[in-house]
Structure 1
């Protein structure tokens, strides 16, 4: 009895601690929405996508002329040489100078570098969008796994409590039989031991439930002393749209819809363009330019406006040709590095294609096995319920012994737990299949 009272005390403390937390009722869609908002990796990819967008804009703007303005104010002390309107002035004094320059440069030909760079950045930005799509599916997948695990833990805890209550009533019944002389004390002691064991089972189920609940809270980043209260999901068996399809059809569906696979294809195209960009740097470059320069000096007695805008402005324009001959192999290193990036990207793409095929086949096989398991555990539960009722009645009539009754109770609880696990496993296996096919719809 002391053991039972101690178990009750510990169980009560855990329940009180859980109830003392701030609980937030959440549907599955709400949990996914919070997860996408709080997930660090997903938010980092969002920030990276902003950079990819600006890189694309920068590449597009690279087709336009470059315009730069520069001004400087300086003072020289000592001997001054200043040519003013054909006269060389040499003095030893302080000279205050204000200079202004404007430079415009327009690329005419650079081996297609600008065009190829624009195409590459467009591929990279598009790949980033598909990467975000796959990342959102991964967030939803992880939350679904933890969300359903919490619901399963809660169901297993409910089964444990229900079994505990049934065995307590059974203990009261056996105590009555003992008083009436219909059962021996050994049956009573055995039942007391069973009740104490089930107290521990219920406590362990409660601890597991609370642990997984805290794990989900950490994933959702709900803050201190806040726990989610997941709402039940619809567990009705529905005919899956993917049953009955051949593996070839599923493979085609996965290769068509997997965002990460499309991302790898776009990254390969982008890196292919970057190889062309690095090679373009080895070709001659032709640029047009225009420079406007003017200044003001304190050696000239005229005012700032006349000097700066009327007398000293100078305009320079022309065309410059740059032919790379030897640059310490810097261009060749850039080409080799871009080729390496392309080859590594192709390796990643090939590995992902193989993984998509394997994941699709494994997810489909597990989904079919989960359907079969749900059917068999349903039969198992029905048979266990009938057996437990029959043996309980035989035990009441004194025909069956305590061992048979305990075994029937164990089989019933096992059947209840197996059926609950099969339901949630079936639900999650369909989520896994959709995730493997790339058709997991992230609704937020």
Structure 2
């Protein structure tokens, strides 16, 4: 049943990526195009973009808090029932309907509040800067994740091509052996063994195609493509290259990472922001001095004078002055706020220390893996060259009847293994270079 499922899946994949439907249902794209599409569709990244707008407005709000607050209030209402009027020293109570229009203008500005506004302004700027660094690191993470899937698809395609090429070669070998058997140069056992080998390689090719299909659909899901639409990744340059980072000691690479990593810069700004919020919370212990100005007036239908006369001439009142508030006992509200702010600041320091350790580990691991990938690419290249020579010699010896089928089969398998290992080593080296740049925080993401 499992084998039947693989056959059905492979058949569906062949239909999808071949002929006219292939041209209609695929989107050719380069690596950078895939990254840009991923950035435009990635939900987490888009949420961070939206959050950055909030941080920008909060920073502006903190800056504008240095200006006075000004509010205009207007009330229009009707009173029905007993109305109290003072006429010539007497208080007259009547049952009336009284329409009232009132207006007030209030202005208030803090003169001194323990530097709370200054601390909150600095914190707002730090939050915004932290958001910018987090946004840039998110871009790098999207690129890194897409690169991993993109390169895996290219590797799957290469392994499938190797499997198909090997299958074709073994089919041709089968035709030769059939001729040798008819001529009496080879035994029937060689023929049956070769037929078995061809059948096995057909299964290998099917499995390679299924793996290619699965990873291709996974990349399509990451890029949020439409239904029945697949990306068609373009090949990347896999030529051997040298990296300037290989000649640097680990401690210098670690310093580069601390300087360039956007997530570490984000933690630095978050620490500063929480430190400023702690200072803002402590300002509640200080006296608060505010200056205020109030203007109020009203109109009533109980007075026979005109609206203009009442509202603008007779009833306007103005008041202004200073308001001093000295905190004495507020049920520990201020102390609770300070403790919460201090804990947030301490937790942020712990997060920064944890990130420093993680950066050190990631840089060391990426550096060692990159060096290992270079050595592996060199070794598999030599392995491939030797396997090609060995297969050529043994094939000729088999044709001449000097070598047996076992030698030929082993030489063919070693050649295919060497081809696969070398392909994996090439793509691994390309990916490890990206991983090292990602660990150092220098992975460049092309912007729209």
Same-fold status (TM-score > 0.5): yes
Deviation at 1:18, TM superposition (A): 3.4
State how far apart, in whole Å, the 2-side matches of 1:211 and 1:130 are.
34
1:7–1:199 contact (8 Å) kept in structure 2: no
2:47 to 30, 44, 49: 44
Q: Distance in 2 between matches of 1:5 and 1:385?
A: 35
Question: Unmatched 5+ residue regions in structure 1?
Answer: none
1:142 aligns with 2:145: yes
| Residue number among 182, 190, 193 corresponding to 2:193 in the alignment | 190
1:305 aligns with 2:304: no
CA distance in 1, matches of 2:88, 2:221: 78
1:27–1:231 contact (8 Å) kept in structure 2: yes
The answer to whether 1:329 aligns with 2:347 is: no
| 1:113–1:277 contact (8 Å) kept in structure 2 | yes
The structure 2 residue matched to 1:227, chosen from 230, 234, 244, is 230
Q: Which residue of 2 aligns with 1:436?
A: 439
1:14 shift after superposition: 2.6
Q: CA deviation at 1:244?
A: 1.0
Matching of residue 201 in structure 1 with residue 200 in structure 2: no
What is residue 362 of structure 1 aligned with on the other side?
Answer: 365
Cα separation, partners in 2 of 1:27 and 1:7, compared to 1, 3 Å: closer
Q: Work out whether 1:65 is the aligned partner of 2:58.
A: no
* Alpha-carbon offset, residue 82 of structure 1: 3.9
Q: Which moved more, 1:67-76 or 1:148-157?
A: 67-76
Partner of 2:376: 373
Query: What is the alpha-carbon distance in structure 2 between the residues aligned to residue 120 and residue 255 of structure 1?
Result: 22
- Tell me the SS of whatever aligns to 1:281: helix
Q: Distance in 2 between matches of 1:67 and 1:379?
A: 79
**Corresponding residue number in structure 2 for 1:101:** 104
Q: Aligned equivalents of 1:252 and 1:7: distance in 2? A: 50
Q: Distance in 2 between matches of 1:207 and 1:226?
A: 17
Report the secondary structure of 2:17's partner residue: helix
Partner of 1:23: 26
C-alpha distance in structure 1 between counterparts of 2:269 and 2:445, whole Å? 22
TM-score, with structure 1 as normaliser = 0.96
Q: Structure 1 339/129 Cα, relative in aligned 2: closer, same or farther at 3 Å? A: same
171-180 vs 421-430, which deviates more? 171-180
Aligned to 1:258: 261
Pair 78,12 (structure 1): closer, same or farther in 2 beyond 3 Å: closer
Cα deviation code 1:42-78 (max 9, x no counterpart): 1111111111111110000000000011111111111
Change (3 A) 1:67 1:397: same
Q: Is 1:411 aligned with 2:414?
A: yes
2:123 to 117, 120, 124: 120
CA drift at 1:140: 0.5
- Which residue of 1 is the match for residue 242 of structure 2? 239
- 2:318 aligned with 1:319: no
The 8 Å contact of residues 84 and 300 in structure 1, kept in 2 or not, is answered as: no
**Superposed CA offset, 1:2-27 (max 9, x none):** xx999988744430133436100010
Where 2:79 maps in the other structure, the secondary structure is strand
Among residues 290, 294, 314, which one is paired with 2:293 in the alignment? Answer: 290
Give the Cα–Cα distance (whole angstroms) in 2 for the partners of residues 420 and 429 of structure 1: 14
SS of equivalent residue, structure 1 residue 71:
strand
1:350 equivalent in alignment to 2:349: no
Please say if 1:421 is aligned against 2:431.
Answer: no
Does the Cα contact within 8 Å between 1:374 and 1:422 map onto a contact in 2?
Answer: yes
- Partners in 2 of 1:370 and 1:301 — Cα distance? 96
Q: 1:6 to 1:284 in 2, by over 3 A?
A: closer
Q: CA deviation at 1:282?
A: 1.8
Question: Does the Cα contact within 8 Å between 2:113 and 2:287 map onto a contact in 1?
Answer: yes
1:90, distance to aligned residue in structure 2 (A): 2.9
Q: 1:305 to 1:176 in 2, by over 3 A?
A: same
Say which SS state the counterpart of residue 92 (structure 1) adopts: strand
CA distance in 1, matches of 2:136, 2:378: 35
1:251 CA displacement: 1.1
Deviations 1:329-385 (A, max 9, x none): 111111000011001100000011111111111101110000000000000000000
> Aligned partners of 1:344, 1:384: CA distance in 2, in Å?
57
In 1, distance between residues paired with 2:88 and 2:200?
Answer: 109
- Normalising by structure 2, we get a TM-score of 0.95
Tell me the C-alpha RMSD between the 2 structures: 1.8
In 1, Cα distance between the equivalents of 2:353 and 2:231?
A: 41
Number of aligned residues: 441
Aligned to 2:274: 271
Q: Which SS does the other structure have where 1:162 is aligned? A: helix
